[in-house]
Chains A and B, each alone.
Chain A
Amino acid sequence: MNPGTGRTWWKTAIGLLLTAIMLFPVYWMLNVSFTRDQHMRKSPPDWFPVHGTLDGYRTVLNQQLPYLATSLVIGLGTVVLTVALAAPAGYALAKLRPRGGGLLSFLLLVAQMIPGIIMAMGFYAIYLQLGLLQSVPGLIVADSTLAVPFAVLIFTAFMSGIPGELLQAAQVDGAGTLRSFRSVVLPMSRNALVTVSLFAFLWSWSDFVFASTLANGGAHEPITLGIYHYIGNNNQQWNAIMATAVVASLPATVILVLAQRYIAAGVTAGAVKD
């Protein structure tokens, strides 16, 4: 298991090349975000931001901060709501074995298959009557539907792995069901908690379907709509559009750097269950 670097350096080279091809659009987004307006339509384009400008980012700071703040609030709200709903449910399904739990797990799997457009249309009809259109709580609830079924299934899978002896020991010490959940199960489920929170945040931060159907034209629009309006109103200032895109990608980047293994675990857990 110790291949000499002489034998594998060309594999590293190919790997670097493949990654470079794959990430080229991301590089291009960065490059364009620094390009000056007058060089935007240059042919051939500048391959590096040599005569770069921060104008695009200045525009973001001037125009997009409210959108970013809205997205942050909605993202955090979605995380809280998702965890609050899913953690107890995962505990019950994994450890308390209720009758009908199997059916509930099945429904959660099916819920993940429903196209977002359909949910959006249903939500629109309901929110119109309730007066919840263009409201932050309304968007939090709608965005949470992206994450809740996934979250319950992750929590269930993870909490199933907690040894029953621990819960029995807690019971012997006089802890009730709620107490064991709070003091034993929840602290031990930190990894699941992190995975679920990351995905709930990312999905709600990235949501475009609910934003454009339920929040369009309101006082609180998330950043995805901010970019969308930008493209619609203004297809000259691509450095500003791309600068906004870069800023909107920051959460994904930070999460990838800090919590790569949780992301990989979450992707596979969604598809291949043990």
Chain B
Amino acid sequence: MNRTTHPPDRWPAPVRNGAAATVPPLPTRTAPRRRRPTSQQWAAWAFLAPVTLYLALFYAYPLYRNVDLSLRDYTVRSFVQGNAPFTGLENYHKVFDDPTFGPALTHTIVFTAMCLVFQYAIGLAMAVFFHQHFRLSATLRALFLVPWLLPLIVSASTWLWMLNSDSGVINAGLHAVGADPVNWLTSPSWSLTSVIIANIWIGVPFNLVVLYSGLQTIPANLYEAAALDGASAWRRFWSITFPLLRPVSAITLLLGLVYTLKVFDIIWIMTKGGPADSSTTFATWSYRLGFGNLLPAFGPGAAVGNLLVVAALIFGLVYLRVQRKQALS
């Protein structure tokens, strides 16, 4: 990635006072690196050509089309005829003035923050627990991956039925302990909580696996030394595990942030953002504007989507920065 042309290997210059005798010679490479020949550059780009073309056609161009969509007044008819009038930032104004904007912003922030906090906390607790040696530990840890591997439509429809007001198993459980049933998906005050619960369930395995791999890099002798000093398990967690896990935690949380910002399937399948926008986020709002109505509003839909792209890219760049810093250190 950051290969620079190396200066030709040199032997250390002879030192007058004879100290050089103790200085080992610079390591010589068996095959001195030369500037790659031009033919090899050509070969490399021949191998990269398909992916480069692919990125341009299937990432850059759709993104460009999306920006273009957001700056024009598109209808289904103008889509086909290709004569949508250019309206500048009007779609963005429309979106900002829309009564859905405020709630969608709040829900996106609440959804992302709650999911991140709980997925991370539960994932970390599970990772620490399964890091211990006990029978079946590896097998059970593997089983924890199941929620993450299932298609989102499967998870979403299972939660949909589990949270059903009349026949759902969650309300049956609440009834068994004497609590009142909750209208999880049909009441505006609970719908956001419901989709957050489902999404936390889906996200825990990812946090578990990544944090577990981080735990494995912490040297065991640190714990042995602390145990000899009489540190309690809680103390060892706060003084060793948590601080040493910080780089991995940062990566996990930032990646989780980028992933959670764009969560769409779960919310759409479970509540469609409703009732009455009570679980609408930017992702579901964008989809509803573009595809959820009989009369699609592609322009405003694309505008909302582009706001989401900007947010994802900002956090994405932060993620890359953190990761690069860690790779250097």
Are chains A and B native binding partners rather than an unrelated pairing?
yes
CB atoms of B48 and A89 under 8 A apart: yes
User: A101 to chain B: which residues have CB within 8 Å?
Assistant: 1, 44, 48
Give a binary string over A197-214; 1 marks a CB under 8 Å from any B CB, 0 the rest: 000001001101100110
Residue B115 interfacial (CB < 8 Å): no
Which B279-326 residues sit within 8 Å CB-CB of chain A?
Answer: 283, 286-287, 290-291, 298, 301-302, 305-306, 308-309, 312-313, 315-317, 319-320, 323
Partner of B209, one of A92, A144, A145, A267: A267
CB atoms of A206 and B151 under 8 A apart: yes
A110-B172 contact in complex given A118-B66, A122-B62, C-beta closer than 8 Å: no
Tally B residues with Cβ within 8 Å of A: 103
Which of B7-15, B96-104, B186-194, B262-270 is the contact stretch?
Answer: B262-270
Which A92-144 residues sit within 8 Å CB-CB of chain B?
Answer: 92-93, 96-99, 101-102, 104-126, 128-129, 141-142, 144
Seen from chain A, the residues whose Cβ lies within 8 Å of a Cβ on chain B are: 1, 3, 5, 8-9, 11-12, 14-16, 18-19, 22-23, 25-26, 28-29, 32, 40-45, 84-86, 88-89, 91-93, 96-99, 101-102, 104-126, 128-129, 141-142, 144-145, 148, 152, 168, 177-178, 181, 202, 205-206, 208-209, 212-213, 223-224, 227-228, 231, 238, 241-242, 245, 248-249, 252-253, 255-256, 260, 263-264, 267-268, 270-273
Q: List 7 tightest A-B contacts by C-beta distance, closest first.
A: A122-B62, A113-B316, A115-B262, A98-B44, A96-B44, A206-B151, A92-B47
Seen from chain B, the residues whose Cβ lies within 8 Å of a Cβ on chain A are: 1-3, 31, 36, 40-41, 43-45, 47-48, 50-52, 54-55, 58-59, 61-66, 69, 79-80, 82, 126, 129-130, 132-137, 140, 142-155, 157-162, 166-167, 169, 172, 175-176, 201, 204, 206, 209-210, 213-214, 248, 251-252, 255, 258, 261-262, 264-265, 269, 283, 286-287, 290-291, 298, 301-302, 305-306, 308-309, 312-313, 315-317, 319-320, 323, 327
